[in-house]
């Protein structure tokens, strides 16, 4: 994925409920011997002490697409 600001949008296919994460940044940083990238891990199920907080959103907000 390219560097930028993102959020994760999720739809539960059993209930139809839609959610999104808080915004987060992915970065690309030039270093002496190359490039370093943000590393991120996402689990799509509840994990005790997990670091991704989801919030309920409307179907319209779920369908919004980023503009190029």
| Predicted TM-score (pTM) of this structure | 0.67
Nearest CA to 61 among 17, 26, 24? Answer: 17
Q: Give the pLDDT confidence score for residue 14 in this predicted structure.
A: 92
Q: Give the pLDDT confidence score for residue 22 in this predicted structure.
A: 86
Please determine, for residue 56, whether its predicted confidence score (pLDDT) is greater than 60.
Answer: yes
Q: Give the pLDDT confidence score for residue 36 in this predicted structure.
A: 93
d(CA 49, CA 26): 22
Token pair belonging to 9: 């949008």
Residue-wise pLDDT for 13-53, tens only, equals 999 999 998 889 999 999 999 999 998 887 767 777 777 77
What is the Rg, in whole angstroms, of the alpha carbon atoms belonging to the chain? 15
Give the start-to-end residue ranges of the domains of the chain: 4-63
């Amino acid at each position: 994925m390219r560097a930028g600001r993102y959020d994760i949008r999720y739809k539960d296919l059993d209930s139809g409920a839609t959610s999104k994460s808080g915004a987060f940044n992915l970065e690309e940083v030039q270093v002496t011997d190359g490039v370093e990238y943000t590393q991120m891990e996402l689990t799509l199920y509840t994990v005790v002490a997990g670091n991704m907080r989801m919030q309920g959103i409307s179907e319209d907000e779920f369908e919004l697409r980023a503009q190029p």
